[in-house]
Structure 1
Amino acid sequence: MTKRCLEIRRPSMGVMNDLLGPPAVAGLRGVLARAAGQRDWPALAAAAERLEPLALRARADLLAGALLSDLDGGRGHGAGYERADAIFRVALQDPEFSGWPIWPVSEAAVTLALQDGRPGSFDDALALLAELTPRLTGEFAIRRLLIEDLDRALAIIADWTRHPDGHVRRLASEGTRPYLPWAVRVPEIIARPGATLPLLDALRRDESEYVRRSVANHLNDVARHAPDEVVAAAGRWSADPGEHTAWVVRHGLRTLVKKAHPGALAVLGFTSGGVSVSVPELDRGTVHLPGELGFGVVVTNDSGEPARVAIDYVVHYLKANGLLAPKVFKLAVAELAAGESRQLRKTHAFRQMTTRVHYPGRHQLQVQANGTLSAKAEFDVVS
């Protein structure tokens, strides 16, 4: 069986749509034609000509719909799950059945399983996604099965945490993430933050970095709506650590640390209280786009004990509506002796990007150390 790359890297906006372009569709048609006995796939061929204006997610949905039409054969009463499943499993014997065309295939399979309505088809669709996921991923299509019956799905997914294939183990964590990029939300996962934590408990020491990274990202997702549950889980893991526990916990708590959550800081050994931060000294009052802003700051441990300090800085960006929006960036982790002061310097770049547009006007900068915020320093950005 042909495996995909060890880790899916989401491409840049400029190239991602082409991942499901006409060449990929032509390859999928060839695979399915061989799997179904040289059967034609006219709807899929027609869909390939309508891809150009669409983004990647819309392309996947269009191709999934075309697959359903071709599987139905024009009869108009809906294709059966069992028949489609048989074709897809034959296709899995073909090493060319891989890559991004797996996404619409997985979506079509789930649609048919849900239309079928039988528990056996639901369970088999999950099994099919586990077989498909090493060829790309089943993390997007699985969401609709989670929406349909979360408890039934999680009971099956729990067994995947012991699967010999790391891609399947990773699907157990990644497919159930509360805020998985590009994927539909599963409201019940957000409403029940403890529902997926047993999966993370089982995978936190996984031998694969690919799986462990997913566990950390999943934990960070849960922190957005259930920080106390996340801190409790991180505390349990830290009390019974494995070789990579420190990294998983640190990465899983990264958003809570930026928010200076006291529990998260405590789990990571950062001392609360007794730290002061000077007003940042800026190297200029105006930044010309594209440009840079340098600043210096002094962090002092005012306590009588050594302190481990997480130091971040906050840029308050001026938005189009005239309001300021804070964005936190990592600066340093420092071990300060009792009474010690540490001077730090940093240069921050201001360049227009697709993910961040800079607007001319008054901005602000702060530094925080273990949650203690400095006073704000102001500067202007001009184009």
Structure 2
Amino acid sequence: MSTDAVPALKNIFDKARFRHIAAEVVAVYPRFDSKQFLALALPGLDDLSLMQRLRRTSECLHATLPANYKQALAILRKLAPRINSGFVTLVLPDFVGLYGRDDFDTSMEALKFFTAFGSSEFAIREFIRQDPERTLAMMKAWAKDESEHVRRLASEGSRPRLPWSFRLDALMADPDLAAPILDALRADSSLYVRKSVANHLNDITKLHPDWVLGRLKSWPLENPHTAWIARHALRTLIKQGNRQALGVIGAGKKAAVGITGLSIIPKKLTLGERMALSFTLQSTSRQSQRLVVDYAVHYVKKSGSSSAKVFKLKELTLAAGESVRLSRSQIVRDFTTRVHHAGRHAVDIMVNGECLASGHFDLAKA
């Protein structure tokens, strides 16, 4: 494994990138004051986060482009295909979200155009928050657009809990507001769009699980695209062992199986080492059965208590009397979202939401 430091994500917006943006604006708008743009953009750059750098870019463009909003947008439209990073193009819809809220029609047209280059998912939320009825009506129309980028924007931009953005309180309180968008996309041919619909629904399960379950049951789950969305939308509830969610994917019945030969090795490990588990799943049923097999690791907390995290292992159909050997391994290492502590870590094997076997490993201090 390389010991080289991984470049910080915020360095997508480094000095070279700002110079690139300045040069490309000059190429489409020769009167652009690139020196002033860089003088505003570069000071104190090292202290800014990724999203702060993105916002600074929008603000500096606003300070150096024509003051007339429509004239500035015309220049940014020409700039869009010239930017050498998909993520950096998020600056363009961000500009719209900051400075175009008083010109709804022009801004909607711009966001629809810009989303194909990166995504307008963050910027559209400014308009949902300001005028939810009008904006969601526009997004409902986008859900039927021929472009998968525009259809995805309809779903992704209206997610109640979109990562890296503020939460949409109105949609968190009432998921019916965005329901027409989700209904229009429930069997979309694009995986790019289906992933967004599933993530949107998974957001809603955090507050309104019964709403999601009821909606999915009314959808044509015999359609493979719709079934895919349902399975991924319910992933949080399935990990929690929710019987109704398991039932939607055909695994709602109590599993008629036994588990033998559970092995968790090594029994003692240190941070950075790999833990491997394996076991045999034996059917005790006279019929085939749909099974969802997960495992939960009870991570020791600093206080000495523990908190379980469920990991997907396998979904399968087990024939009558059939047995299968399952295995999985993972490296035990720290993440920004999880720091490990020494102690005994219990491991549970879950089948259709029920714990059928348990073991453990001991994590020692490095």
Same-fold call, TM > 0.5? Answer: yes
Provide the residue aligned with 1:131 in structure 2: 113
| Partner SS for 2:46 | coil
TM-score where L is the length of structure 1 = 0.83
d(CA) in 1 for partners of 2:167, 2:238: 25
Change in Cα spacing, 1:332 to 1:254, as seen in structure 2 (3 Å) is same
Kept in 1: contact 2:129–2:168 (CA 8 A): yes
Q: How does 1:47-196 map to 2 (within 5 A)?
A: 47-71=41-65, 79=67, 83-94=68-79, 95-97=81-83, 99=85, 100-114=87-101, 116=102, 121-196=103-178
Offset from partner CA, 1:73-100 (integer Å, 9 cap, x none): xxxxxx5xxx123222233134315643
Kept in 1: contact 2:22–2:37 (CA 8 A): no
- Moved >6 Å (runs of 4+): none
Kept in 1: contact 2:69–2:100 (CA 8 A): no
Structure 1 position 306 matched with structure 2 position 288: yes
Change in Cα spacing, 1:153 to 1:252, as seen in structure 2 (3 Å) is same
Give the Å deviation of 1:201. 1.5
d(CA) in 2 for partners of 1:340, 1:373: 20
Q: How does 1:223-372 map to 2 (within 5 A)?
A: 223-239=205-221, 241=223, 243-275=224-256, 278=259, 280-302=262-284, 305-338=287-320, 342-372=324-354
d(CA) in 1 for partners of 2:137, 2:252: 40
| Partner SS for 1:52 | helix
Kept in 1: contact 2:258–2:284 (CA 8 A): no
Give the Å deviation of 1:202. 0.9
| Partner SS for 2:165 | coil
Change in Cα spacing, 1:84 to 1:25, as seen in structure 2 (3 Å) is farther
| Partner SS for 1:180 | coil
Give the Å deviation of 1:198. 1.7
Give the Å deviation of 1:277. 5.4
Give the Å deviation of 1:339. 5.8
Amino acid at match of 1:255: T
| Partner SS for 2:277 | strand
Structure 1 position 198 matched with structure 2 position 147: no
d(CA) in 1 for partners of 2:167, 2:6: 21
Kept in 2: contact 1:43–1:66 (CA 8 A): yes
Kept in 2: contact 1:98–1:136 (CA 8 A): no
d(CA) in 1 for partners of 2:197, 2:319: 34
d(CA) in 2 for partners of 1:348, 1:113: 47
d(CA) in 2 for partners of 1:92, 1:98: 14
Kept in 2: contact 1:291–1:349 (CA 8 A): yes
Amino acid at match of 2:10: N
Give the Å deviation of 1:183. 1.5
Amino acid at match of 1:110: G
Provide the residue aligned with 1:18 in structure 2: 11
Amino acid at match of 1:259: Q
Change in Cα spacing, 1:166 to 1:296, as seen in structure 2 (3 Å) is closer
d(CA) in 2 for partners of 1:284, 1:346: 13
Change in Cα spacing, 1:344 to 1:105, as seen in structure 2 (3 Å) is closer
Give the Å deviation of 1:44. 5.0
Change in Cα spacing, 1:44 to 1:194, as seen in structure 2 (3 Å) is farther
Offset from partner CA, 1:214-251 (integer Å, 9 cap, x none): 1222222222222122222222334452x423322222
Give the Å deviation of 1:316. 0.9
Offset from partner CA, 1:125-153 (integer Å, 9 cap, x none): 22211111112111111111111121111
d(CA) in 1 for partners of 2:41, 2:302: 39
Instruction: Structure 2 unaligned segments of length 5 or more: list them.
Output: none
- Across the aligned residues of Structure 1 and Structure 2, the Cα RMSD in angstroms comes to 2.7
TM-score where L is the length of structure 2 = 0.87
Amino acid at match of 1:142: I
Give the Å deviation of 1:295. 2.8
Kept in 2: contact 1:307–1:335 (CA 8 A): yes
Kept in 1: contact 2:265–2:361 (CA 8 A): no
Give the Å deviation of 1:268. 0.5
Aligned residues: 357
Change in Cα spacing, 1:139 to 1:20, as seen in structure 2 (3 Å) is same
Amino acid at match of 1:130: K
Give the Å deviation of 1:303. 5.1
Change in Cα spacing, 1:98 to 1:208, as seen in structure 2 (3 Å) is farther
| Partner SS for 2:170 | helix
Offset from partner CA, 1:291-327 (integer Å, 9 cap, x none): 2223334545555543211010001111234331211
Kept in 1: contact 2:65–2:72 (CA 8 A): no
Instruction: Structure 1 unaligned segments of length 5 or more: list them.
Output: 1-11, 73-78
Give the Å deviation of 1:257. 1.2
d(CA) in 2 for partners of 1:205, 1:158: 15
